[in-house]
Each structure stands twice: as C-alpha cells, then as structure tokens.
C-alpha cells in the first residue's frame, strides 16, 4: 500500500519563475492538502482539494494555485516566485468524512528560490 | 498565525530518560494530534486525542489533554536516540465537511546515546 508520494524531492528556481509540485495521495484517500513549512517553523496550511475543487484555503496569495485530478492526485503551482517562497512543501492526504480525519504526509519537496 | 504552541522549543536528554513536551492552544477544538518530523522530512502521525478524552497511551507515548487549560502534553518514556526529531501538536476543527489541522512551531528533541 503506497503512502503519499511527492515529486520532485528538491528544486532550485530563480526569483520570478514558476514552479509545479506534484503529489499522489495514499491509496483510498480522496482529499489532498498542501502545506508550506519554512525553516524552524511548523507547517502552514495553503489549501485543500476535494472532488477536484478547492475546499479550504489558508492565508496565501493568489500566486499559489492548485489542481486535483480525477485520480485524486494534485499539483501545487506557484507563480512569480519570491525568495521567501523557499521552504519545504508538504502534501497530506486524508479520507473525507472519516472521523477523526487524520492526515498522512508525504516526504515533501524542498524548494530553494535564488 | 499558528494555533498551537509547543514548549520547550528545544529539549536535550540522555537515552533512557523521559521527554515531556507541552502544547497550548487558543480556541475550541475537536481533537488534538501529535506528529513527529525527522530532519525536515514528512510528518508522521503519532497519536490523536479527542476533546472528550483526558489521557491516551500508545506504546511509549502518553498524551494528556486539559481542555479547561487549553493544553496538552506528550510524554515519551525511556527515550531512544531514534526519538530524535521535531514534535508538533496540531489542533483540529472540522467545518463544512473539511478538517484542517493547525500546527505549532514544534519542539526539537535531541536524545543523546
């Protein structure tokens, strides 16, 4: 039973560029959440996707956008990268309606913006 | 802003000792969860305690929850070097069909062999 997978593992971009990160949820899960974790901080919620729609969004600018595909996998897109976007980006999957709803995290993608 | 705040920020102990980490939060919760993160990798779910529970055990882990004080503690007994990691509490509130855990800044635990 595959867990949550993310790609790529590491990425270096230049300020102003665009980046796409990918996530495949744990088998049987239908909900994907994305988090940004800066060095020394806890994960900050970006948004959550369910049934191919953004269901909840955290306090992140519109430069951060996402998508969920029919197979429940998801992408996180960040446009016009800033130096401050350098962080570990975590994807988490869960099963909607499960009580309690526990999120399972992938290994993350470490993004460095130069 | 982050809902839960862990204390201490860092903890250094010897193998075999117990490690206690605390978490305080601000608003009402459905449940509180503890996660572990090794070296900036993904978070691993450790244990969940519901708002109507006061104490929960899982192996060497013991979690308590005091909703009147809006606080929780995680105790790791007989620590091992492999327990070296960052530990996060996440407070959860389910709304509109979705559940979003909110994380604190974490406690960095170092267990010396």
- Which of A26, A38, A43 is most worth mutating to test chain B (most B CB atoms within 10 A of its CB)? A43
- Which of B25, B42, B45, B105 is most worth mutating to test chain A (most A CB atoms within 10 A of its CB)? B42
From A43, A55, A110, residue closest to B103, measured CB to CB: A43
Q: Note the pLDDT tens digit of each residue in A90-104.
A: 999 998 877 667 889
A41 contacts B105? CB cut-off 8 A: yes
Q: Quick one: average pLDDT of A5-19?
A: 97
Q: Note the pLDDT tens digit of each residue in A40-63.
A: 899 999 999 999 999 989 999 999
Banded pLDDT at B30 (limits 50, 70, 90): confident
Banded pLDDT at B29 (limits 50, 70, 90): confident
Across the strands, what pairs with A111?
A: A11, A87
Centre a 10 Å sphere on the Cβ of residue B106 and count the other Cβ atoms it contains: 28
Centre a 10 Å sphere on the Cβ of residue A46 and count the other Cβ atoms it contains: 22
Banded pLDDT at B4 (limits 50, 70, 90): confident
- Residue A110 contacts B where some CB pair is shorter than 8 Å: yes
In angstroms, the CA B100 to CA B105 distance is 16
Residue linked to tokens 């996060």: B88
**Residue B1 pLDDT greater than 70, yes or no:** no
From residue A5, how far is each of A21, A68, A113 by CA, in Å? 11, 15, 22
Mean of the per-residue pLDDT values for chain B? Answer: 90
Residue B83's SS3 state is helix
Q: Residue B106: which region, alpha, beta or left (left: phi > 0; alpha: psi -120 to 50)?
A: left
Q: Note the pLDDT tens digit of each residue in B67-94.
A: 999 999 999 999 999 999 999 999 876 6
């Amino acid at each position: 039973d595959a867990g949550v997978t993310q790609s790529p593992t590491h990425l270096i971009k230049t300020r102003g560029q665009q980046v796409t990160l990918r996530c495949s949820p744990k088998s049987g899960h239908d909900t994907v959440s994305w988090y940004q974790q800066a060095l020394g901080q806890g994960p900050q919620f970006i948004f959550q996707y369910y049934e191919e729609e953004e269901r909840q969004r955290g306090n992140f600018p519109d430069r951060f956008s996402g998508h969920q595909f029919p197979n429940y996998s998801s992408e996180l897109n960040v446009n016009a990268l800033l130096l401050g976007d350098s962080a570990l980006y975590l994807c988490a999957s869960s099963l909607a309606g499960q009580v309690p709803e526990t999120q399972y995290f992938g290994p993350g993608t470490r993004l460095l913006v130069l | 802003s982050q809902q839960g705040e862990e204390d201490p920020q860092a903890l250094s102990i010897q193998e075999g000792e117990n490690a206690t980490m605390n978490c305080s939060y601000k608003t009402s919760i459905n449940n509180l969860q503890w996660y572990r993160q090794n070296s900036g990798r993904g978070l691993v779910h450790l244990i969940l305690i519901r708002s109507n529970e006061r104490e929960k055990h899982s192996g060497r882990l013991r979690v308590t929850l005091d909703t009147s004080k809006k606080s929780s503690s995680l105790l790791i007994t007989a620590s091992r070097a492999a327990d070296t990691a960052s530990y996060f509490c996440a407070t959860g509130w389910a709304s509109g069909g979705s559940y979003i855990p909110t994380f604190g800044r974490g406690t960095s635990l170092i267990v010396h062999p």
